[in-house]
Amino acid sequence: MTPPDAAAVHTEMAAFDAELARAESPRDAQSIRDRYLGRKHSVVASWMQAVASAAPDEKRAIGRLANELKHALEGRWARFLEAAEQATRPAGALDATLPGRMPPLGHRHPLTVVRDRMEEIFTRMGFTIVEGPEAEDEWHCFDALNMPPEHPARDMQDTLYLASPIGAGAWASDPSGPDGAEGDDARTLLRTHTSSIQIRYMKTHEPPIRIVAPGRVYRRDDLDLTHSPMFTQVEGLAVGERMSLADLKGTLLAFARAMFSPAARVRFRPSFFPYTEPSAEIDISCWRCEGRGCAMCKQTGWVEVGGSGMVHPAVFEAVGYDAERYTGFAFGIGIERVAILRYQIDDIRLFFENDVRFLEQFPY
Amino acid sequence: MRLLVSWLRDFVDVTASPREMAGRLELCGFEVASIEAHGGQDAVIDLEVTANRPDCLSVIGLAREVATAYDLPLALPSAEPGARIALNPAPVGESSRVTVTVEDDELCPRYAAVVAEVRNDRSPSWIAERLDAVGIRPISAIVDLTNYVLIELGHPTHAFDLARLGGPEIRVRRARAGEMVTTLDGIERRLDPDMLVIADRDRAQAVAGVMGARASEVSSATRTVVFESACFKPASVRRTSKRLGLKTEASARFERGADINAPLLALARIVALMEQAGIGQPLGPLVDRYPSPRQPLPLHLRRQRLAQLLGAPVDDAVVERVLSRLGLMPAASADGWDVVAPTCRVDLLREVDLIEEVGRHYGFDRIEPTFPVVPAPVPPPDVRVPRDRLLRRILTAAGLSEAVTFSFLETDAAQAFVAAAEGDGLVAIANPLSAKFEALRSSLLPGLVDAVAHNRRHGRRDVGLFEIGARFTAGGETRGVAVAWTGAAAPEHWSGGSREVDFFDVKGVVERLSGALDVPLRFEAVRKPFLTPGRAASVLVAEGPLKGAVAGVLGQVVPAVLDARGLPRQDAVLVAELDLDRVWQARGPGAPDVLDDAVATRPLPRHPFVVRDLSIVVADALPAEVIRGTIQAAGRGGPAPLVAISVFDRYHGKGVPDGRVSLSVRLTFQAPDRTLTDADVQESVDAIVATVVREHGAVQR
């Protein structure tokens, strides 16, 4: 510290000016001010302390010098602020804190967000994406899938039928379109699963094949918190000469890790679907509680996401594949189900209300 | 199926706790709905049994699964003295008390009956308590007896009061057209000849496999009963139960398939229990009508196929243990095992069914995941996938958010928009659950307008939505893309300048789609009942093989429709819908793939362009498209090539007579090979002016 004398007042003032001149931001300047003018540990504060500890006869002189320095620095600080203000706000300056004009950008529907993601994951695994009609005939939706008329399984998924058959529409020119194999009394229905697309694909392609079929499906259900007469599925199918249940498990494990959590595990619970044998429910280890038990997994540590199994030989026979030579696996995963789990949605109806406040919460 | 654990322990000495056992059953394919403590040590496990396993709608069936899971012996019902589940098979013969005739052995392949002398008061407590525990109300000794055997062995039986049968005889026949029967639930039902009944000499006394009739119901006065134990064709029981709207414990089992050998087993068990409980004893022999005996199905399981399908080798010892415990009697052969499927396992029909059995009990959990080899490059996806993604990109970039609305709707909601689809009426749903879902949409617009209304009701004034989805008409299913837009064209900003969405915002979106799909579209004024006259246009294909075909519609919704859909009448709601399939088709064969980036670029011009602005006054009613066409044609002949025309102002008012409009058009001239001279440009402009003056009576300003 420079001892308080007249020369020191000028030295400190010059040093203060010089430092302020080098300040790069208002923040810098403020810290310089504090070092000279702050209430503690500053130049002025130390001069004031010097007054207190000075001999009684010197007190008056040093006090005067200290005050002189204080006022001089304060004056310089005020001028500095004014100059800084001038520098940053020239005439006509904008208020940079006002909101900008954002270009418009709408949101994809959450069911599309999930669908796109699933398509991307399965494409990486060698699956191609195929589509098919929503208004379907009974043969493609049931008979070819090992559900002959009177099969009790036709009851499991109660079906919406059309009052009268309709034309093939845009699917007419599709080589996999209806082929009359279903007979004259066939009714048109709203497909209950996208497995009907797999039948169409197998009828027009030879193995090896690997496809996923996304799309809307329909059931004769009332609309409530957990049910909807319309929902969306992605069904997968792989057929080759040595496809196994282990391959199915590996494929779904890769999907679960890409979709839910890198640490996900897959559990198969035996089940029954007419078009697969063996059949299994797909459980994924709960990624929210990591298996410890939470509300999402109902304290079980596992979350069910869909059904799967090895393609039933009767399905291969229906499409003209050699059921001895080829084996295959199939799976079906509900897009709403995945979205509900991923986004913590508690009411399936939100997907179909199209409330913009809901839609805007999803990524672009 | 509610399983009482102590009842299960009659069959298998399993020491595991109910919770542990439930967990094991779950991993064998039986979903556990609940586990309830029952009394001190006992519990009831509520299990979901899949449709292929009617044998497990019984204690014995689930006991066989538990015995297999824990590798324990299963105690089978037996006539041996001291058997844990006692049988008392009566000798088979003809009864002197009742005659039994099966007229239709296709619908009833086996029918067995035994007459018994009984006292029908209350059941002993051990029967009543077990029934109560599994959710069946005890009624009387005889009814409880049939229910006990139903739960224990899974086979439905029925008791007729012999004194109340006309004849006394039993006749298994089809119902007569219009035949009436009052079933045990007190409801009078009309039957038809597709249905099978159990009749006496005169009339139906039961709907076969579904429910008995009031007329021969047992009561406390009953002294002699006929116990029926039969098999009925699953499809027939299912159809009958569905048509009568009557689902029972019996029909649920018969429609999934009953064990052809269960009828005698069930009767032998009834007789044994009847004697044990002091309810009565049989009178005379047991009648068994079984004209075409069925043989158990021999099956073969190959070791190599099993390992290949599961993707895991399973030890022979495990395979043999599982198959034996399931009662399949495996015999080793060169490449695997010969087995015999027991008749109670109606689901075991081929090798793959055996593989599932082994897999289930080996444990799907023990199969290590593998990743299948990718055999070939992935073929491109269905073209609709990248096309629809492109459309979504464009529409979201326009500020519209994607909606997903129901494919069906109320006829009322749709009716106003019917004309949105050309010509065709609505396609009705044959079996809708409610009026809200009674017809299929022929247009995406009703759903989108309702979605706008929903948002408007929740305080949102600016709403822009689009949807891509299927529409249905008698002609078939097509895919469309539609837009509904209301409120401000851009979000409110402090700098001001807010503007309401109008016709040309929506038209611009359609034009953008047309450009993206590389299909030129034209717009033509049209009248549609749901669109405001003067603010409605038809969208037509402008070029190519489908030139002139209608590809969509565009306009402002009329107040009456807004009103009907719960929107304020004064709102401006602009809509557009395109038939995507039609537009896609309009590209014609050999069209460049717009989803690909394989475009051939044009070299950038090397010579400067010249711009001339032209203001002309023409008739207000003259479509801009016509003037544009005229200018284009006139520009073609001149020395300076006309490369662009844009209308940059349209003015009514001072200085322009009524019925006329001033148009300002910017003309851009450019030649690929030279710099244009003023003279060239002037000559071209003069030619254009002369043509619009001549053809449209235009006046240059």
pLDDT digits (tens, 9 = 90+) for B131-185: 999 999 999 999 999 999 999 999 999 999 999 998 899 999 999 999 999 999 9
CA distance B463 to chain A (A): 8
Closest Cα of chain A to B258: distance in Å? 14
For the cut 90, the answer to whether the pLDDT of residue B633 exceeds it is yes
Q: Please tell me the predicted confidence (pLDDT) of residue A155.
A: 63
Whether B454 and B406 have beta carbons less than 8 Å apart is answered as no
Task: Answer yes or no: do B356 and A267 touch at CB < 8 A.
Answer: no
Which residues touch A108 (CB under 8 Å, ≥6 apart)? Answer: A116, A362, A363, A364, B392, B396, B401, B402
Question: CB of B295 within 8 Å of any CB in chain A?
Answer: no
Which of B320, B293, B316, B287 is closest to B304 using CA atoms?
B316
Closest CA to A137 of A179, A85, A79, A97: A179
Which residues of B fall within a CB distance of 8 Å from A351?
404
A274 interaction partners in chain B (CB closer than 8 Å):
52
Q: What is the pLDDT of residue A327?
A: 97
In this prediction, residue B413 carries a pLDDT of: 75
Question: With contacts defined as CB-CB under 8 Å, which chain B residues touch A270?
Answer: 27-29, 356, 359-360, 364
Contact at CB, B311 and A99, closer than 8 angstroms: no
Residue type, B167: G
What is each CA distance from B631 to A77, B640, B647, B688, B691, in whole angstroms? 70, 13, 12, 6, 8
Q: Is the pLDDT of residue B418 over 70?
A: no
Q: Is A33 helix (H, G, I), strand (E, B) or coil?
A: helix
Q: CA of A26, closest CA in chain B: separation in Å?
A: 28
User: Which residues on A lie below 8 Å from B398 (Cβ)?
Assistant: 104, 106
The CA-atom distances, in angstroms, between A113 and each of A110, A238, A342, A361, B403 are 5, 24, 11, 12, 12
Residue B566 Cα distances to A4, B409, B483, angstroms: 83, 16, 18
The nearest alpha carbon in chain A to B460 belongs to: A356
Indicate the range of A338-347, B30-39, B408-417 predicted with least confidence: B408-417
Within chain A, residue ranges assigned H as helices are 6-22, 26-37, 43-53, 56-88, 110-124, 138-141, 153-156, 195-204, 245-259, 313-319, 335-343, 350-353, 356-359
Closest CA to A212 of A306, A281, A105: A306
* Cross-chain residue pair B369–A168, CB shorter than 8 Å: no
Q: Say if CB B280 and CB B89 are below 8 A apart.
A: no
Tens of pLDDT along chain A (364 residues) come to: 556 778 888 888 889 889 888 888 888 889 999 999 888 888 888 888 888 888 888 888 888 888 888 898 899 999 988 888 777 777 788 888 899 988 889 999 999 999 999 999 999 999 999 999 999 988 999 999 998 887 766 765 588 999 888 887 778 645 444 454 444 456 889 999 999 999 999 999 999 999 999 999 999 888 999 899 999 999 999 999 999 999 999 999 999 999 999 999 999 999 999 999 999 999 999 988 887 888 888 888 999 999 999 999 999 999 999 999 999 999 999 999 999 999 999 999 999 999 999 999 998 8
Q: Do A171 and B359 touch (CB under 8 A)?
A: no
The shortest C-alpha distance from B652 to chain A (Å) reads: 32
pTM of the model: 0.86
d(CA B625, CA B633): 12
Q: At residue B357, does pLDDT exceed 70?
A: yes
- CA-nearest residue to A265 within chain B is B369
B234: contact with A, CB 8 A cutoff: yes
Please confirm whether the linkage preceding B639 is cis (ω < 30° from 0).
no
Torsion of CA A286, A291, A292, A297, to 10 degrees: 30
Contact A110, A232 (CB under 8 A): no
**What's the CA angle centered on B403, arms B456 and A171, to 5 degrees?**
140
Strand order in the sheet with B439-440: B408-409, B439-440, B427-428
Residue that has been written with the tokens 């079933």 in this structure:
B183
Contact criterion met (CB < 8 Å) for B451 and A354: yes
Q: Which helix (H) or strand (E) holds B340?
A: strand B336-341
How far is Cα A76 from Cα A57, in angstroms, rounded to an integer? 31
Nearest to A234 by CA among A282, A194, A189: A194
Q: What is the pLDDT of residues B501-532, one digit of tens each?
A: 999 999 999 999 999 998 999 999 999 999 99
Residues 545 to 584 of B: which have CB under 8 A from any A CB?
Answer: 581
Closest CA of chain A from B44, distance in Å:
20
Quick one: tokens of B557? 């919704």
The sheet with strand A266-273 has its strands ordered as: A128-129, A209-218, A230-240, A327-334, A302-311, A276-285, A266-273
Q: Residue A135 in contact with residue A190, Cβ under 8 Å?
A: yes
Tell whether the torsion through CA atoms of B131, B137, B143 and B147 is positive or negative: negative
Query: What is the Cα–Cα distance from B314 to B336, expressed in whole angstroms?
Result: 12
Do residues A212 and A119 touch, judged by C-beta distance below 8 A? yes
Residue A257: burial class (beta carbons within 10 Å; 0-12, 13-18, 19+): middle
- Backbone phi and psi for residue B588, each to the nearest 5 degrees, phi listed first: 75, 160
What's the distance, CA B52 to chain centroid? 20
| Cα(B438)–Cα(B413) distance, integer angstroms | 11
First to last CA, chain B: 90
CB within 8 Å: A244 and B311: yes
Q: Tell me the mean pLDDT in the region B669-674.
A: 92
Q: Which of B223, B215, B218 is nearest to B183 (CA)?
A: B215
**Would the CB atoms of B364 and A269 count as touching at under 8 Å?**
yes
Radius of gyration of chain B (CA): 40
Question: Looking up tokens 């009648």, which residue turns up?
Answer: B287
Interface of A with B in 263-302 (CB under 8 A): 266-272, 274, 277-281
- Comparing C-alpha atoms, which of B409, B439, B463, B450 is closest to residue A353? B450
**Taking a C-beta distance cutoff of 8 angstroms, is the pair B666, B646 a contact?**
yes
SS3 B355: helix
**What CA–CA distance (Å, rounded) separates B485 from B462?**
8
Which long-range contacts does B76-81 make (Cβ < 8 Å, 24+ apart)?
Answer: B77/B153, B77/B265, B77/B268, B77/B269, B79/B268
The closest CB to that of A269, out of B29, B52, B398, belongs to: B29
Residue A175: what are its φ and ψ, rounded to 5°? -60, -20
pLDDT in tens, B572-617: 999 999 999 999 989 877 666 767 776 778 889 899 999 999 999 9
Q: Is the confidence at residue B416, as pLDDT, over 80?
A: no
3-state secondary structure B286-338: EEEECCCCCCCEEEEEEHHHHHHHHCCCCCHHHHHHHHHHCCCCCEEECCEEE
Measured between beta carbons, the chain B residues lying within 8 angstroms of A327 are: 308-309
CA distance B603 to B431: 61
Residue in the block written with tokens 């799976």 = A331
B170 and B226 Cβ atoms separated by less than 8 Å: yes
CB contact under 8 A, A101 and B493: yes
- At residue A188, φ and ψ (nearest 5 deg) are -95, 140
Q: Is B495 on the interface with A (CB under 8 A)?
A: yes
Element (DSSP H or E) covering residue A169: none
Nearest-CB residue to B427 (from A112, A162, A230): A162
Instruction: For chain B, say whether A310 makes contact (Cβ under 8 Å).
Output: yes
The residue among A224, A249, A255, A345 with the most chain B CBs within 10 A of its CB, best to mutate, is A249
Q: Looking at chain A from residue 205 to 244, which residues have their Cβ under 8 Å from any Cβ of chain B?
A: 208, 210, 216, 218, 220-223, 229-230, 238, 240, 242-244
Closest by CA to A185, choosing from A149, A133, A132, is A149
Rounded CA gap, B144 and B149, in Å? 9
- What mean pLDDT is reported for chain B? 93
- Residue A53 burial (CB < 10 Å; 0-12/13-18/19+)? exposed
Q: Which residues of B touch A242 (CB under 8 A)?
A: 308
Q: Cα–chain-centroid distance for residue B318?
A: 39
In this prediction the ipTM stands at 0.90
Residue type, B404: V
Residues of A in contact with B496 (CB under 8 A): none
- Residues 369 through 428 of chain B touching chain A, CB cutoff 8 Å: 369-372, 374-376, 378-382, 384-385, 389, 392, 395-408, 427-428
CB atoms A166 and B370 under 8 Å: no
Please give the backbone phi and psi of residue B167, each rounded to the nearest 5 degrees, phi first.
140, -80
How many A×B Cβ pairs under 8 Å? 274
Instruction: Flag whether residue B463 sits within 8 Å of chain A, measured between CB atoms.
Output: yes
Amino acid at B554: L
Judging contacts by C-beta atoms under 8 Å, the chain B residues touching residue A280 are 364
Radius of gyration of chain A measured on its C-alpha atoms = 37
Q: Quick check: B27 and A270 CB within 8 A?
A: yes
pLDDT of residue A157: 54
Whether B385 sits inside 8 A of A312 (CB atoms) is: no
Q: Which residues of chain B lie closer than 8 angstroms to A354, CB-CB? A: 403-405, 451, 454-455, 465
State the distance between the two ends of chain A, measured CA to CA, in whole angstroms: 60
Interface with A, mutate which of B404, B438, B450 (most A CBs under 10 A): B404
Give CA–CA dist A245/A251, Å, rounded. Answer: 10
In angstroms, the CA A219 to CA B441 distance is 16
Q: CA nearest B200: which of B226, B238, B234?
A: B226
> How do residues B235-258 score in pLDDT, each as one tens digit?
999 999 999 999 999 999 999 999
Residue that has been written with the tokens 């199209």 in this structure: A354
Whether the CB of B24 is below 8 Å from some CB of chain A: the reply is no
Does the structure show a pLDDT above 90 at B636? no
**Which residues in chain B are closer than 8 Å to A352, comparing Cβ atoms?**
404-406
